[in-house]
Amino acid sequence: MASLTLIVRRRTIMAMACLIPLIGIPAVYAATPAEAFVADNIQKGLGTLNDPQLSPAQRSEQFERFLLTITDMDRVATFTLGQYAATASPADRAAFTAAFQSYSVAVYRSYLGKYAGQTLKIAGSSQHAPGDFIVVTNMIDPTDHSGQPPLEVDFRVRTDTGKPEITDLGVAGVWLAIAERDQFGAFLSKNHGDINALVAHLHEVANGYK
């Protein structure tokens, strides 16, 4: 279990933390609804990140609400549960979704401060399937003068669900939800498909970020 925790932390730190800079980007031109969705929500989060009147607890609470409005947590949670989602009881699925949400929010919140000052620039988008887009952005660090290409951060956005929502995040070619599905599947395989054990594990990992 310890090795899985380290893998989850390492992949999650790299991928999930990179969503944080989207809060600090100025408005940019967006050519598609998916790009506009990413660009618009950058501005919405700006006040939360930089508001000196907010306490850390208030900033965390407001960021959590903001995150949950732009992310389809139910869809992502079901995806990461993989083959086990089909046989899980409604109670187990509900418990897993709640644990996954707490886990995801804890990780995002933990890395808020580490990426302050960096921005994401929208570089374009492509349609993966009808209503399913990948928005390509570049992370810009104003203090980096190495001349190296900026880190690419990709957002998978669904626009066929009544409102645009983020369903996955890719960093340097690593898609977070896919990585989590593999990691959670390995955990469940070693624990006889015990979803309650995975729920407890996710709560343990989330608490480690607090």
Q: What is the CATH number of the domain that holds 13?
A: 3.10.450.710
For 6-48, what is each residue's pLDDT tens digit?
444 545 444 444 444 444 444 445 578 899 998 888 657 656 7
Residue range(s) defining the domain that contains residue 158: 2-208
The per-residue DSSP string of 15-82 comes to HHGGGGGGGGPPP---SSHHHHHHHHHHHHHHHHHH-TTS-HHHHHHHHHHHHHHHB-HHHHHHHHHG
Q: How many domains does the chain have?
A: 1
Least confident of 2-16, 41-55, 89-103: 2-16
Burial 80-96 (b: 16+ CB within 10 A, else e): bbeebbeebeeebbebb
% of the chain with per-residue pLDDT over 90: 40
For 138-159, what is each residue's pLDDT tens digit?
878 888 888 888 888 888 999 9
